[in-house]
Amino acid sequence: MASGASSQQPEGLNNDKTSGIEAILREKISALESKISANDQRYEQRFADSEKAVNAALQAADKAVSAALQSAKEAVNKAEAANDKHFDSVNEFRRTLGDQANGFLTKDSAVARFDGLNEKINEVNSRVLRLEGQDIGRAATIGTGIAIAGVVIALLILLRRSRVSQPPLTRD
């Protein structure tokens, strides 16, 4: 019934209630719009601040990456220089070893030299043996000659003694 009673109220009264509700609603809508507007401003400010922070972070990261790349380049350059220096010293050592190895006697050269020395030693040995043989032959010849001379002298002495001890033959 209450609903029937309210429907029976005069139209002007209804209008007052409606206009009061409209005013309250407009007030609430206005308050909500101002809150939305304030929130939009806050969010825009936060977004702008976030964008600035991201840009600042990107710039700082870019600077850090650039510095790291520069440091890495310098480190690589130093490492390459040290590596080149090391390889230079290794190559110099290799050249020294190569020069030293070139001065060494090779196996083939050593064999050839030893064969040559062995031939010379054998030649000298054969000469010595020949000379010793010649000396022995000379000594034997001289000894034989002395022996023959001694025999001849002994025979001559014997002949002379035998002539001296015999009276001279006379011819009659």
Q: Where exactly are the structural domains of the chain?
A: 1-104, 118-167
- 3-state secondary structure string across 53-102: HHHHHHHHHHHHHHHHHHHHHHHHHHHHHHHHHHHHHHHHHHHHHHHHHH
Residue 99 and residue 105: Cα distance in Å, rounded? 12
> 56-93 as b/e, with b when 16 or more CB fall inside 10 Å?
eeeeeeeeeeeeeeeeeeeeeeeeeeeeeeeeeeeeee
How much is the pLDDT for 61?
92
How much is the pLDDT for 139?
82
Distances (CA, A) of 113 to 37, 38, 109, 120, 121: 109, 108, 6, 10, 12
How much is the pLDDT for 102?
82
How much is the pLDDT for 12?
52
Residue count of the chain = 172
For 172, which DSSP code? Answer: -
Residue 48 and residue 85: Cα distance in Å, rounded? 54
How much is the pLDDT for 66?
92
Distances (CA, A) of 5 to 1, 12, 60, 99, 153: 6, 15, 74, 127, 201
Q: pLDDT tens for the chain, 172 residues: list them.
A: 444 444 455 555 567 788 888 889 999 999 999 999 999 999 999 999 999 999 999 999 999 999 999 999 999 999 999 999 999 999 999 999 888 888 887 888 889 988 999 999 999 988 888 888 877 888 888 888 899 999 999 988 888 887 766 666 666 5
How much is the pLDDT for 1?
42
Within 10 A of 172 (CB to CB), how many other CB atoms are there?
Answer: 3
For 9, which DSSP code? Answer: S
Tokens for 149? 């001379």
